Structure 1
């Protein structure tokens, strides 16, 4: 029960990594507000997690919208009154190179992967500060640290998230709010399934990942539990890289 008495908001809660984080959090005693665009999958996840006995609420929301975050804040006020942990996990992939990324697609990826993180922190930080502190966990990527040769907008968003995280970590340390990023490597999720079905991409990641296999969503979730718990009370502004050794080369 490493997260007992904590209220956590998890965005992108029904995806591979988001679902794993939600499962690990509730098993460790956290109360949850699950955020996603897919209402059916949210309701199914709520039912799946109900046997663990923690309070679980769901809300359908587009995290790139300020209005949606105001609705999330209202939900926190009505159902929990406070928030201790925010996991900004919602995101979309983007495989296009720079010249293949038109203006509309650029804005879509930046808003979903970066602006949503700003909005989440902007709306929930005051409540977190008022409760005496907390932990913000932003799901970034190894491609915030190294170039991929593609993924122009995605890489820009994830790199921007890393910089935003470090700035917020310094600004709000005095308020006992910790802000960190997790950087997954190749993790087997529904979002990466299509990539791994392409022989050239599969071969590339096989070659560049020293560990003999790819990661699983639970590998990221265990890291999120650590960063959400009081065990990491002196950890802020850092990057937790979970990638099987990819970026060490």
Structure 2
């Protein structure tokens, strides 16, 4: 509804990206509605947090299935369409663009979240391998690695002044990110302005990956 409210077009499709049947149906419905595909953003993700010794196999597998397998399935189906379409003059310099939503935790370990961190580390190599394989088809693949973004999934980290101040000790730029920050980056990566960029993760984190603990000379 927000997209339509701002003059765009959109359809809502119920799907579990960890289920192959759902992904196939989702892409079929998209093509039936719009006829082509130009950009695919892997944005589905979740957390099921627990200490290692308490984490169940279901908690582990659910996060891996959604966060990592879901990106594989959606990227595979998008690539099939992009290869078939080829480069379309007047649309884009590329045949297609895939953006893999990752996290600073593709490079920052995270105790108590081993399933989530493992899924994001996997996304990094998935993205790079896809970029290598698909570049000859003029398909670009990149990742976005958000740090602390103010969304409901991490509400406990910013909802009180005390929790926000604690969070800001990890962010050299001293502000929490907003969804529009990530949206602006995704729009740019998907545009022809970024046509020579493929196979890289762009971190959008206010400096969280800069080892802020060493900012006072260690």
- TM-score w.r.t. the length of structure 1 is 0.77
Name the larger-Rg structure: 2
Shift of 1:183: 0.5
SS of 1:75's equivalent in the other structure is: helix
Equivalent residue for 1:246? 208
Change over 3 Å in CA distance of 1:199–1:112 after alignment to 2: farther
Shift of 1:207: 1.0
Residues 109 and 157 in structure 1, CA contact (< 8 A), matched pair in contact too: yes
More displaced 10-residue stretch of structure 1: 177-186 or 144-153: 144-153
1:168 to 130, 140, 146: 130
Residues 101 and 152 in structure 1, CA contact (< 8 A), matched pair in contact too: no
In the TM superposition, 1:66-215 aligns within 5 A as: 66-132=20-86, 133-197=95-159, 202-215=164-177
Across the aligned residues of Structure 1 and Structure 2, the Cα RMSD in angstroms comes to: 1.7
User: Could you tell me how far apart the structure 1 residues matched to 2:65 and 2:200 are?
Assistant: 23
- TM-score w.r.t. the length of structure 2 is 0.87
Shift of 1:181: 0.7
More displaced 10-residue stretch of structure 1: 154-163 or 48-57: 48-57
Q: Which runs of 4+ in 1 moved over 6 A?
A: none
Change over 3 Å in CA distance of 1:64–1:199 after alignment to 2: farther
User: Could you tell me how far apart the structure 2 residues matched to 1:184 and 1:99 are?
Assistant: 28
2:13 to 52, 59, 77: 59
**Structure 2: runs of 5+ lacking an equivalent:** 87-94, 212-218
Shift of 1:80: 1.2
Shift of 1:120: 0.2
Deviations 1:158-188 (A, max 9, x none): 1101110000000000011111110000010
User: Could you tell me how far apart the structure 2 residues matched to 1:143 and 1:201 are?
Assistant: 20
Shift of 1:150: 2.5
User: Could you tell me how far apart the structure 2 residues matched to 1:181 and 1:91 are?
Assistant: 14
Residues 46 and 63 in structure 2, CA contact (< 8 A), matched pair in contact too: yes
Deviations 1:181-234 (A, max 9, x none): 100000100111133347886454221111121100001001000111111111
User: Could you tell me how far apart the structure 2 residues matched to 1:99 and 1:225 are?
Assistant: 40
More displaced 10-residue stretch of structure 1: 200-209 or 165-174: 200-209
**Alignment size in residue pairs:** 203
Residues 52 and 112 in structure 2, CA contact (< 8 A), matched pair in contact too: yes
Residues 84 and 131 in structure 1, CA contact (< 8 A), matched pair in contact too: no
User: Could you tell me how far apart the structure 1 residues matched to 2:107 and 2:164 are?
Assistant: 20
